[in-house]
Amino acid sequence: MTTPSDLVAELEAQEHDLVLAGFTNDDAWRLGSLLVELARSRSAPVTIDIRRGSQQLFHYALDGTSPDNDAWLARKSRVAERYGASSYLVGARFRAKGTTFEESSRLDPDLYAAHGGAVPIRVAGVGIIGTVAVSGLPQSEDHALVVEALARMVRG
């Protein structure tokens, strides 16, 4: 059985490996299109959002989603931006300390959600430049979908 500390270590290692050589608007389109393709192939009803800073570069909602997914995307992305780590990792770090994000972060839960699905976009030699987020599946699956697509982008 995976402990909360094991999950934190796994997610930290994942993020260490998910560093892109660069990231342009065309890269956002490719990443977003890849996420749409992966979601469609799995009949996964998700909404996808890619941002560089406050600029939205890509947004797509597959059938079966609702405006609630947009609200989740915003809340999860705020966590990834604020903490410089995936929303899933942030939540896991709180759980590893024996608490929850909601109990201990002191942040408004209407604005911030440490649930899996938002991952910082890291560029080598630059750092975090934005976020890529998915909403619509259980949090571990939202996170895994984003990681799979980013890993493919890293490999080229």
Q: Parse the chain into domains and list their residue ranges.
A: 4-155
Rounded CA Rg of the chain:
14
Q: pLDDT at residue 156 above 90?
A: no
C-alpha distance from residue 94 to each of 42, 90, 97 (Å) = 31, 7, 5
Q: What is the pLDDT of residues 28-78, one digit of tens each?
A: 999 999 999 999 999 999 999 999 999 999 999 999 999 999 999 999 999
Architecture in CATH for domain 4-155: 2-Layer Sandwich (3.30)
pTM of the shown model? 0.96
pLDDT per residue as tens digits for the range 74-129: 999 999 999 999 999 999 999 999 999 999 999 999 999 999 999 999 999 999 99
Cα–Cα distance, 131 to 128 (Å, whole number) = 8
Q: Are strands 127-135 and 47-52 parallel, antiparallel or unpaired?
A: antiparallel
